[in-house]
Amino acid sequence: TKLNPSDKAEKIIRDIETVIRLNEINSAIYIEFQNRLDELIKQKNEHSLEIEEILNKLGVLYSELDDVASLPTRMGFVDKGTFEIYTVIKNSSKGDFNEELVRDFALSILDNIIKKKIYIGWQDVPREYERLQSDIELLAVNPRFEELGIDEHEDLLERIMRAVLQNYSLS
């Protein structure tokens, strides 16, 4: 049977939620997708937008989910790890977000810490993990990156370290 527009929107919402749930552990970008989906669900429930407009926006969101694998490259990141660090910081920012500075910070982690200091098995040595975390903390308090305030948020630093572990562990 043919779905009415509201039922069609519900099906697309469920499909998008499934994609987000399956991938949110692997990338912080899915938090942003979830926030956008939540806003569309709210607009749908409040009838603040016509259902056709909701369907269009859901279609755009779904297309972006399909393209997320190539998103880091399209945004100019050299690898998924730097994009992940950028996204973690972006998702935690409240108010002003200096995209250029956050991008530079993520790339500096790669160029000045990751490329120079990791080796096969580093992630299995607690002292190496702590050393890497200290190096990232030092970079965060560098006058160049101080305005990001990363050193003021222990949970943010922990999420950055999870992104580093997830993307730069070598075995």
The pLDDT value given to residue 107: 94
Residue matched to tokens 């943010």: 156
Q: What is the DSSP string of 33-93?
A: HHHHHHHHHHHHHHT-S-HHHHHHHHHHHHHHHHHGGGHHHHTT-SSHHHHHHHHHHHHH-
Separation CA 105–CA 84 (nearest Å): 12
Burial class (CB in 10 A: 0-12, 13-18, 19+), 76: exposed
User: In this predicted structure, which of 16-30, 109-123, 145-159 has the lowest mean pLDDT?
Assistant: 16-30
Burial class (CB in 10 A: 0-12, 13-18, 19+), 51: middle
Confidence of residue 1 (pLDDT cuts 50, 70, 90): low
Confidence check: pLDDT of 71 > 90: no
- 41 or 23, which is more confident? 41
| 144 φ, ψ (degrees, to nearest 5) | -65, -35
pLDDT tens per residue, range 93-105: 877 789 999 999 9
- Round the average pLDDT of the chain to a whole number and report it: 91
Separation CA 104–CA 6 (nearest Å): 43
Separation CA 135–CA 105 (nearest Å): 12
The pLDDT value given to residue 171: 79
